[in-house]
């Protein structure tokens, strides 16, 4: 697959036009001006009926479809929660992943959607809802690859191996914590570039959330690729659960708390799986998140 192929093209090949969401709010660029108003973001959003959400355009979590509408598993769950809180309109602001937290703090938008992992270093900066999915880790390689990879330790034990990772993704942290050297990493900005690195021979494998495996392998252009089973890395004796939540500013705890109540309700009544399932999210990964809290993950996740 050429490196220039976009994430939304990958997702469209997998799911087709049936998920196009005509009439959904259009996307804006990350250059949108900062939001104004006081600290009562929830009250203001209910009054105006609208709120801005930052995301990094990564299928199937949150992306822009062929109709230029914002959709994806986490985006649609976010939209449902906002609607039930009396905020019917959500404007999506495409923002590079590494700029999402700074953009939130600069008030360019009022929440982060689209799939951000709950880890300690991010918890120091923002608030998260409780997780609604636990995303395992998988490895993708060519069928005729010289190495078959199923763990980060497999890479660490073979110094001549190269592993493609997103430079801002949690996979880079996992890899280095488990012994992979920096010179073994091929830094590739996003799924399409990581796949291109493997197909082009610059990397022996790529590391990605197992949620993205269907997106990769169901693309007919990727018939030469295979994937490992999902794993839960263990770092310093602590399982890295891959919990994903929605992010808010520290001072906007009332908004986070109100949204968190919606998430808890959806986890109990099956709405989470119903909303995210059509985008390829596993019911078992959703069910695994039940009972975990953001406080727990903030204290244990690297």
Secondary structure element (H or E) that encloses residue 127, with its range: strand 127-128
**Which residue(s) pair with 225 in the sheet?**
142
Alpha helices in the chain, H assignment, sequence order: 7-15, 41-48, 73-84, 100-105, 120-123, 152-156, 170-177, 191-199, 213-217, 253-269, 271-276, 283-288, 294-300
SS3 65: coil
The burial of 76, by beta-carbon neighbours within 10 Å (0-12 exposed, 13-18 middle, 19 or more buried), is given as buried
d(CA 210, CA 281): 9
Instruction: Check if the beta carbon of residue 190 is closer than 8 Å to that of residue 58.
Output: yes
Instruction: Check if the beta carbon of residue 101 is closer than 8 Å to that of residue 125.
Output: yes
- Which of 122, 62, 60 lies closest to 94 in space, CA to CA? 62
d(CA 166, CA 194): 7
The burial of 289, by beta-carbon neighbours within 10 Å (0-12 exposed, 13-18 middle, 19 or more buried), is given as buried
SS3 235: strand
d(CA 162, CA 191): 16
d(CA 41, CA 57): 24
Instruction: Check if the beta carbon of residue 245 is closer than 8 Å to that of residue 132.
Output: yes
User: Could you tell me the mean pLDDT of each successive run of 10 residues in the chain, 302 residues long?
Assistant: 40 36 46 56 97 93 92 97 98 94 98 94 97 96 95 97 93 96 94 94 95 87 96 95 97 97 97 96 94 96 89
d(CA 69, CA 212): 20
Dig out the tokens for 176 from the structure.
């280095």
């Amino acid at each position: 697959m050429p490196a220039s192929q976009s994430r939304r093209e990958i997702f469209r090949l997998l799911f087709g036009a049936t998920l196009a969401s005509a009439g959904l709010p259009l996307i804006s660029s990350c250059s949108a001006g900062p939001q104004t108003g006081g600290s009562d973001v929830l009250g203001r959003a209910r009054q105006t009926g609208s709120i801005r959400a930052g995301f990094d355009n990564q299928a199937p979590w949150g992306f822009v479809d062929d109709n230029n509408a914002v959709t994806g598993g986490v985006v649609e769950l976010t939209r449902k929660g906002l609607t039930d809180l009396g905020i019917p309109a959500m404007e999506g602001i495409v923002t590079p992943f590494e700029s999402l937290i700074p953009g939130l703090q600069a008030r360019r938008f009022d929440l982060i959607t689209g799939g951000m992992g709950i880890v300690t270093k991010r918890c120091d900066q923002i608030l998260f809802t409780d997780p609604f999915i636990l995303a395992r880790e998988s490895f993708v390689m060519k069928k005729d690859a010289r190495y078959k990879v199923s763990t980060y330790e497999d890479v660490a034990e073979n110094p001549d191996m190269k592993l493609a990772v997103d430079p801002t993704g949690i996979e880079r942290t996992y890899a280095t914590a488990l012994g992979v050297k920096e010179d073994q990493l091929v830094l590739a900005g996003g799924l399409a570039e990581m796949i291109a690195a493997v197909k082009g021979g610059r990397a022996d494998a790529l590391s990605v959330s197992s949620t993205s495996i269907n997106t990769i392998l169901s693309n007919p252009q990727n018939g030469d690729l295979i994937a490992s089973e999902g794993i839960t890395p263990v770092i310093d004796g602590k399982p890295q659960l891959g919990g994903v939540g929605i992010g808010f500013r520290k001072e906007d705890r009332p908004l986070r708390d109100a949204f968190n109540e919606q998430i808890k309700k959806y986890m109990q009544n099956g709405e989470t799986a119903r909303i995210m399932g059509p985008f390829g999210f596993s019911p078992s990964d959703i069910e695994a998140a039940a009972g975990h809290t953001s406080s727990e993950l903030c204290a244990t996740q690297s």
